[in-house]
Amino acid sequence: MSRRFIVPLFILTLVLPAVFSGAVVSPAAAQQGFYVAVAPYVTTTHPCTYHAKGSCQAELKSAALRFWLRSTDGTVNRAGTVRAGGDGFVEWWLPHNKEYVVTFQYEGKRGTGSFVSYPKSATCITTIQLTAPR
């Protein structure tokens, strides 16, 4: 490939991410894992399949949430406290081709849901309602 084509290509890789304000996922990041945004809720949610950073808004903005996340094959186990973003979503990069179960706890309420990380799987999970124990 001639230098005439390499230099513009290199410049595009530097400029395009700035133009799209972080909306672009680099190929290297995509190879590291599956991106998923999860928005647990108490009263209000919205239907969503593919997360659109900046336009998807959820109920529990900046909330501190306790979570338990595991893959059904047992290879991924995470637990701790996470703060939802200003849009109300918790975002993770997870291994591809797995099934996950996640539980959230917030102000005495708890909810559990599941999702998968296969090609073309939903990246916006808005179906986990937090409820008080019975």
Domains along the chain? 33-125 (2.60.40.3700)
Q: Which residues contact 97 (CB under 8 A, 6 or more apart)?
A: 117, 118
Give me the phi and psi of 75, to 5 degrees please.
-85, -20
Residue 54: which of 85, 93, 19 has the closest Cα? 85
Residue 127 pLDDT greater than 70, yes or no: yes
Measured over the CA atoms of residue 21, residue 50, residue 29 and residue 71, the dihedral's sign is positive
Q: Global pTM?
A: 0.76
Q: What is the pLDDT of residues 10-54, one digit of tens each?
A: 333 333 333 333 444 555 555 679 999 999 999 999 989 988 887
Alpha carbons 79 and 70: distance in angstroms, whole number? 8
Task: Find residue 99's DSSP bridge partners.
Answer: 116
